[in-house]
Amino acid sequence: MKVPLLDLKTQYASIKSEVDRSVAEVFESQQFILGPKVEQLERNIAAYSNCSYGIGVSSGTDALLACLMAEDIGPGDEIITTPYTFFATAAAISRLGATPVFVDIDPATYNIDVDLIEAKVTSKTRGIIAVHLYGQMADMDAVTRIVRAHNLFVIEDAAQAIGAEYKSIRAGSIGDYGCFSFFPSKNLGGAGDGGMIVTSDAEKADKLRCLRSHGSKPKYYHRIVGGNFRLDALQAAVVSAKLPHLDDWTAARQRNAERYDRLFSQTGLPIGLPRVVTNRHIFNQYVIRVSSRDELQTFLQKKEVGNEIYYPVPLHLQECFAYLGHRAGDFVESERAAKETLALPIYPELSDEQAQYVVACVREFFSQRKSIETFGKASTKRGA
């Protein structure tokens, strides 16, 4: 059996007529940049996220960048985030000449350890990017308490967490801004790059709309320097066709996670399973923890079980951030997570048989290791 990490072909087959119709409408209109398809998606994602405004942008990366630009972030400013996230989170800060200030993660959730934030707040701190990793929201009560006390802004990096909830509050609606990604592997993926910012602040929404079109308002009059961060109508068409299915897909991912939890618990193997501490984890990824992660990955690859390491090198140890002066040991939980975590297939269409196969392969890996260890010990004894 072969189990891919993600099966977008099966998903497309199930909604082909809806996607094709929505895309055809864009071709009929010949309106490819922004326009009614994008505006409709902006309204729908804002409503889905319980926010007043949606601003369609070119990617999740540009969503983060535009929000920081909206806050006039630049050299001398510090933004707090974690080193255990996709590169784009810290890159957006660095690209503007500001300093990413890292705070380690809570090993149970992989999200920012809120008890460590305040020690990193200085007179230069302007905001926090709270990442909702793997589809589970960070501890937003604590984050909100800190930003209020220090007059900071919060960007929710909800690239992996559309529709996730913390105490029944939707991702993107707690911070000043929420950023989503429509990268194809996300729970709500487009047919290329795309993203969305949500906010309930009319002024911020206005500035973001201006920034995504080179800071022009009206056209060809530029009060500020922005970028080309516009969302293509074709991406909006694909994402719009998928949005009505998102809750069913999320429910399927949650069922798949529960099944893995059950099956893995029954094995009694030394595997760390995802900890759900919020009321709605949307499982963009199902990530397990094992001490022999690299060997398990090689084994699963041989068995044709899709898997991925998110992320093998924490950001403070990336070459491009050497100028920050960090070294190994600075953020121990992030470093440990980078060595021990492995994402397994969790996509909505994953069948019971496929999930059983994944667990059986993991079990086989451990039983082979055990017999090798036992054999090794026995032969050492014999040799002694």
Ligand X SMILES: Cc1ncc(COP(=O)(O)O)c(C=O)c1O
If the CB atoms of residues 23 and 159 are measured against ligand X, the closer one turns out to be 159
Least distance between ligand X and beta carbon 195 (Å): 5
Collapsing DSSP to helix, strand or coil, 172 comes out as: coil
Q: Which two tokens stand for residue 328?
A: 């190994």
If the CB atoms of residues 159 and 174 are measured against ligand X, the closer one turns out to be 159
If the CB atoms of residues 7 and 62 are measured against ligand X, the closer one turns out to be 62
Least distance between ligand X and beta carbon 113 (Å): 17
Q: What is the number of residues in the chain? A: 384
Residue pair 145/128 in contact (Cβ under 8 Å)? The answer is no
Helices (H), 180-267: 202-212, 233-242, 246-267
Name residue 70's amino acid: A
If the CB atoms of residues 93 and 361 are measured against ligand X, the closer one turns out to be 93
Least distance between ligand X and beta carbon 87 (Å): 8
If the CB atoms of residues 41 and 131 are measured against ligand X, the closer one turns out to be 131
In order of 2, 334, 335, the CA distances from 92 in angstroms are: 37, 20, 22
Least distance between ligand X and beta carbon 59 (Å): 3
If the CB atoms of residues 181 and 334 are measured against ligand X, the closer one turns out to be 181
Least distance between ligand X and beta carbon 320 (Å): 16
Q: What CA–CA distance (Å, rounded) separates 288 from 308?
A: 11
User: What residues contact residue 375 under an 8 Å CB cut-off, 6+ apart?
Assistant: none
Q: Which two tokens stand for residue 64?
A: 């983060």
Least distance between ligand X and beta carbon 182 (Å): 7
Among candidate residues 137, 139, 99, the one with its CA nearest the CA of residue 120? 99
**Positions that interact with ligand X (CB under 6 A):** 59-61, 85-86, 88-89, 131, 157, 159-160, 181, 183, 193, 195
If the CB atoms of residues 26 and 159 are measured against ligand X, the closer one turns out to be 159
Q: What CA–CA distance (Å, rounded) separates 182 from 199?
A: 17
Mind giving me the DSSP string for 126-183?
EEEEEE-GGG----HHHHHHHHHHHT-EEEEE-TT-TT-EETTEETTSSSSEEEEE--
In order of 103, 216, 296, 309, 310, the CA distances from 156 in angstroms are: 15, 26, 33, 23, 19
Among candidate residues 185, 223, 227, 183, the one with its CA nearest the CA of residue 67? 227
Q: What CA–CA distance (Å, rounded) separates 333 from 133?
A: 14
If the CB atoms of residues 82 and 354 are measured against ligand X, the closer one turns out to be 82
If the CB atoms of residues 58 and 240 are measured against ligand X, the closer one turns out to be 58
Residue pair 232/37 in contact (Cβ under 8 Å)? The answer is no
Least distance between ligand X and beta carbon 238 (Å): 14
Least distance between ligand X and beta carbon 177 (Å): 13
Least distance between ligand X and beta carbon 295 (Å): 26
Q: Which two tokens stand for residue 274?
A: 């995802």
What residue is closest to ligand X based on CB?
A: 60
Name residue 168's amino acid: S
Q: Using only C-alpha atoms, what is the Rg of the chain?
A: 22
